[in-house]
Structure 1
Amino acid sequence: APPSIRRGLSYGTAMISWLGAVATGASACLSASVGIFGVISFLNPDFVYRRWMGFVAFQILNLVTIFCSCFEQALPKISKALLFVSVTSAAVVFVTLFATSRQHASPETFFITISNTSGWQDGIAFLIGSSGINWSLCCLDLVTHLAEEIPSPSTNIPRALMWSVVVGFISGILVITSVFVNTPAVDADGDNSALILFYKISGSKAVAVGIWIPILVVVVGALWSIQVWQSRLSWTISRERGFPLHRYLGRIAPEPFSTPVWSIVWSAAFSAAFGCLYLASELAFNSLISTGLLLQYISYSTPVVLLLVQGRSAFRHGPFWYPRLGLMANLIMLGWTMVAIVFYCFPYQIPAEAEKMNYVSAVLIVVAFFICTIWFTFGRRNYQVNYFLRK
């Protein structure tokens, strides 16, 4: 970046990335909490879910995953176990739903027929709805923030990035295909949660709960991974004096931790605050966490724009350097980011109603205001950029 805007742009990008991670963590925390109570309600129809229950479960899961992310030696073991559970769960869902389904969608229904109840044109409805499936490919930059903890990062990090896309794509396709091919007619106004869809397909509560529990484990595991991710972002920003209390947040705790424990607690505290917002207003909370994906896209796009402006040849090339393929990937990513920023802010249905409105655009403005405020009140005086990846 040009020297005149280098520090400010670096700080803004880092804060966008960190806030995106915190919002994503809050989303995973609530998803796991609601999923647990969904099982209870499914097995006990007389049970009535209250928002405070989800809030309490949210904070408990937040604390548990904080503890599990504090020990450096446990990270590789937990990661491998979660990868196995994730891949196995996708395969089990695929096989089980096809084996237990009593009816299947015809090829015409699956590939051609469009059921659109949003009020938007089909193309716009597709783009708005794609935000859901994009979550299977989010958090891609997590591994890049573990560069100091991974052997041979110049080769292993690109491999991890590419395999994350492959695993996320294949597992997502398996689950989506098995659900849509085998689901009976979907009631747009009914309960279409995953657990209920599994029950509609299999006709068995035991089967539905049996394949839903491993998915819940994966969601909790994702929350643990996000705790690690957001803490490393916080730690990196603190090492460059970007946060108040950076002297503490930038430290690595001694054995048996060997992790930035205070940064873990700092980031998790913001997730806990987001949970308090859920207790006050579910609509406000959903709008806030919905920005997680867009904030990630914006943080990815900023360095790519600078890369293209300065020239891709101006930077040191790593082992995985593909001039044409890399340029195409950069352009596609920038194009998709612009599409996502526009369409993910659209109302989910038209005519729009206040209680069902999409307030992501308003939240993005609040995020921009927050970052500008902390930059002018603290970051501009203290933040420093220590390293530039130039030839």
Structure 2
Amino acid sequence: MACLGMAFMMLNSWTDTHPSLNLVLSSGGSVSVVYGCMVSAVGALATGLSLAELCHVYPVTGGQYDWIYILAPDHLKVGLAYVVGWLASAGWCTLLGICAAYCASMIPGFVGLWNPDVEMTKWQIFLLYVLFAILGFSLNTFAVKLLPMVEKTAFYWGVVGIVTVSITVLATAAPNFQPPKAVFATFTNETGWPSGVAFLLGMMQSTLGLAGYDAVTHMMEEMPAPSKNAPKVIMLAISMGAVTAWLFLVILLLCLQNLEEVMTSPMGPLVTIYLQATNNRVAATCLLLFNFIAVVFMTQGVVTVASRMCWTFSRDRGLGHVSPYLAPVHPKLLVPVGSLIFVLCVSVVIGCIYLGSDVAFNAIAASGLTLVQLSYLVPILMAFIRGEAAFEGQPRTWSLGRYRRVVNGVSIAFLVVTCTFFSLPPALPVTGPGMNYAVVVLATVAILSTLVWFVDGRKRYFGPTELETRLSEGRRTW
């Protein structure tokens, strides 16, 4: 249950889909919101199935980082493992930035409800961002024994939250619902891009809401029968996330009363819809608290996974000269404090985008999503190329069989298309404040990883270690 709670908490899809709802509504309107979520769900399910099979056959805590080393030809093993290790580590550090940004973006909603004349500045949002990142770090460093309980609580909070919020919004908005055409058949394009590109850009929020399902693979050492249970958790988390996200988005579209206000309100789209539906500040505040606390839970969980990924990679000296400082586990706290500090520092640096961008959340989201999805793409592509040979002779109780290449192919197409288009500016013409800084983040990761390779990695990095021991541990039946 703790691992399921973590997986559901990582995705938290129903509450992940709202922060940039105003931008999505201008990038395809309700068509992008409703049908974009469906497309994202299909892509996530195909990717999840591909990863679940790898997880079942090769249950190791490095996840995609270990899998590519196992699957790749001997002459490519080390290089590809290094690339995927950097993508996964940087991606999860950036996902922490996304979670901290979620939390920070909700505070203006609370403030605006009770003090409409107060408008928070960029630097105030940035300071809140840092505060929430530090909160996640502190829980993982000094209260690690409480984490299983926190993860279970997060699961129940999320389930109770979506039921309570959905019933309340529907009941208070009735009978003033939007007509079916406005919910299911309105296409709006204010981006300057062609309609097809606008639709794909509008998919980013729903795709982000379904990302991060590799989280459970990095926690397999702490769950019973990992090779059996981890794949189930991956698929269950995606399925629950997709259904709850789609229903929640449809309810929001159904209950909003003034679209222009939703797209322009400084309070943010979610709290504006809550206020329009309930016409009551206290009710809107209480509803927003469900989302806010769910995202705080998610921030704590992302810190856990990000630090585990960096810790695993640093044990193999994948992060160069800083690796010896990240790999040790603190003898009293029993956590990799160096990795936790590293994750916190990286996420704070990424958060500086808030100081120079008018679409900071989208830029951070696009960065984290692209990095993580690229880390999925490499091992899935290798499994697609090798086919059954990638799994031959390994103990397993199920497989994708003849459907493997179809499922892998759908996943690869989805990952390539989304990673490409999510790096584009959200609107044309491109301005400095409106630029998509995901390209800058991706370029920085590429440059840093290349420098570390030539300075340290090519001499001291040899790929994942102790794979056989960790595989044996992952295949235990208890």
With normalisation by structure 1, the TM-score equals: 0.92
**Pairs within 5 Å for 1:79-90:** 79-90=151-162
Higher deviation after alignment, 36-45 or 74-83: 36-45
> Counterpart of 2:198?
125
* Residues 79-133 of structure 1, C-alpha deviations (whole Å, 9 max, x = no match): 1100111121111221111101141122233222323322334332211100011
Letter in 2 for 1:24: L
> Counterpart of 2:278?
202
Higher deviation after alignment, 357-366 or 151-160: 357-366
In structure 2, the CA distance between the partners of 1:83 and 1:127, relative to structure 1 (3 Å rule), is same
Instruction: Give how far 1:230 is off.
Output: 0.6
Instruction: Give how far 1:340 is off.
Output: 0.6
Instruction: Give how far 1:285 is off.
Output: 7.3
Instruction: Give how far 1:317 is off.
Output: 5.0
Contact 1:16 1:295 in 2 (8 A): yes
Instruction: Give how far 1:335 is off.
Output: 0.4
Equivalent-residue separation in structure 2 for 1:47 and 1:320 (angstroms): 57
Q: In the alignment, does 2:343 pair up with 1:343?
A: no
Contact 2:126 2:352 in 1 (8 A): yes
**Pairs within 5 Å for 1:26-105:** 26-70=97-141, 71-102=143-174, 103-105=176-178
1:190 is matched with which residue: 264, 287, 290?
A: 264
Contact 2:216 2:233 in 1 (8 A): yes
Structure 2 gap segments, 5+ residues each: 1-71, 472-478
In structure 2, the CA distance between the partners of 1:357 and 1:281, relative to structure 1 (3 Å rule), is closer
Letter in 2 for 1:143: V
Contact 2:101 2:361 in 1 (8 A): no
Letter in 2 for 1:78: V
Equivalent-residue separation in structure 1 for 2:334 and 2:289 (angstroms): 32
Higher deviation after alignment, 328-337 or 44-53: 44-53
* Residues 127-162 of structure 1, C-alpha deviations (whole Å, 9 max, x = no match): 110001112211111110112122211112111101
Equivalent-residue separation in structure 2 for 1:65 and 1:320 (angstroms): 37
Q: In the alignment, does 2:335 pair up with 1:254?
A: no
> Counterpart of 1:179?
252
**Pairs within 5 Å for 1:1-391:** 1-70=72-141, 71-102=143-174, 103-187=176-260, 190-191=264-265, 192-243=268-319, 244-255=321-332, 257-279=333-355, 287-315=363-391, 316=394, 318-385=396-463, 386=465
Instruction: Give how far 1:61 is off.
Output: 1.7
> What secondary structure does 2:117 align onto?
coil
* Residues 209-238 of structure 1, C-alpha deviations (whole Å, 9 max, x = no match): 111011001111111111001100111001
Contact 1:69 1:228 in 2 (8 A): yes
Equivalent-residue separation in structure 1 for 2:456 and 2:329 (angstroms): 23
Contact 2:357 2:434 in 1 (8 A): no
Equivalent-residue separation in structure 2 for 1:284 and 1:81 (angstroms): 30
With normalisation by structure 2, the TM-score equals: 0.76
Contact 1:158 1:320 in 2 (8 A): no
Letter in 1 for 2:315: R
Equivalent-residue separation in structure 1 for 2:290 and 2:361 (angstroms): 26
Letter in 2 for 1:153: P
> What secondary structure does 1:311 align onto?
helix
> What secondary structure does 1:45 align onto?
coil
Higher deviation after alignment, 114-123 or 193-202: 114-123
> What secondary structure does 2:79 align onto?
helix
Equivalent-residue separation in structure 2 for 1:189 and 1:196 (angstroms): 9
Equivalent-residue separation in structure 1 for 2:467 and 2:209 (angstroms): 31
> What secondary structure does 1:160 align onto?
helix
> What secondary structure does 2:203 align onto?
helix
In structure 2, the CA distance between the partners of 1:88 and 1:230, relative to structure 1 (3 Å rule), is same
In structure 2, the CA distance between the partners of 1:345 and 1:247, relative to structure 1 (3 Å rule), is closer
Letter in 2 for 1:134: T
Structure 1 gap segments, 5+ residues each: none
> What secondary structure does 2:76 align onto?
helix
Letter in 1 for 2:150: I
Identical counterparts, % of pairs: 26
Instruction: Give how far 1:339 is off.
Output: 0.9
Instruction: Give how far 1:361 is off.
Output: 3.3
